Structure 1
């Protein structure tokens, strides 16, 4: 079996609100919850598990998607009026980066910095 990414646990102020945000923006699907986790699954079967936790050190996660999914996700950000940037330093508010595909950076409800991109870095 090849090595692949299976799941991650993400600390969240409100796990259900975070899972709903990711489902709406990323198009993820609900997955069965268990223990303290509110779960969703991405199209590649990666499981994202949200757990109630203080978020002292937000993390960065990038999600590669095709143009159609990017457009859908970006429309969800706009509907929700989510602040977003074309750069991770947050110096280009309200923009999308268009060099080497499209990228946009934004924060989830717990303050984690997320990135949607249409071209991989490698």
Structure 2
């Protein structure tokens, strides 16, 4: 069997609010919940599990998507006035990067640093 990424647990101040944010921005699908987890499934079958936890150190996650999904997710960010940047240093607010594909950086409701991109780094 080849190695692939299966799931990650994302600590959240409010797991339901965070899960809804990821569902709306990424188009993730609802999955059965269990234990303390609110679960979402990405198109590649990666499971995102949101659990109540203090968020002391934010993590970074990047999501590769096609142009149509990027447009949909970016439209959500703009429509809901989610602060976003074209660069990871947060020096170009309200923009997207178009250097190699398209990229945008933003934070989820718990402060985790997210990235949507249309071209992989490798």
The two structures share one fold, judged by TM-score above 0.5: yes
Match of 2:44 in 1: 44
Task: Mark the runs of 5 or more structure 2 residues left unpaired by the alignment.
Answer: none
Displacement over 4 Å in runs of 4+: none
Match of 2:82 in 1: 82
Superposed CA deviations along residues 93-120 of structure 1, whole A, max 9, x for unmatched, are 0000000100000000000000000000
Match of 2:96 in 1: 96
- CA distance in structure 2 between the aligned counterparts of 1:80 and 1:39, rounded to whole angstroms: 23
Instruction: Give me the TM-score of the superposition, normalised by structure 2.
Output: 0.99
Residues matched between the structures, number: 122
Match of 2:7 in 1: 7
- CA distance in structure 1 between the aligned counterparts of 2:55 and 2:117, rounded to whole angstroms: 24
Deviation (angstroms), 1:40: 0.2
Matches within 5 A, 1:33-72: 33-72=33-72
RMSD: 0.4
- CA distance in structure 2 between the aligned counterparts of 1:85 and 1:93, rounded to whole angstroms: 4
Match of 2:118 in 1: 118
Structure 2 counterpart SS, 1:17: helix
Match of 1:24 in 2: 24
Structure 2 counterpart SS, 1:48: strand
- CA distance in structure 1 between the aligned counterparts of 2:86 and 2:100, rounded to whole angstroms: 12
Instruction: Give me the TM-score of the superposition, normalised by structure 1.
Output: 0.99
Structure 1 counterpart SS, 2:10: strand
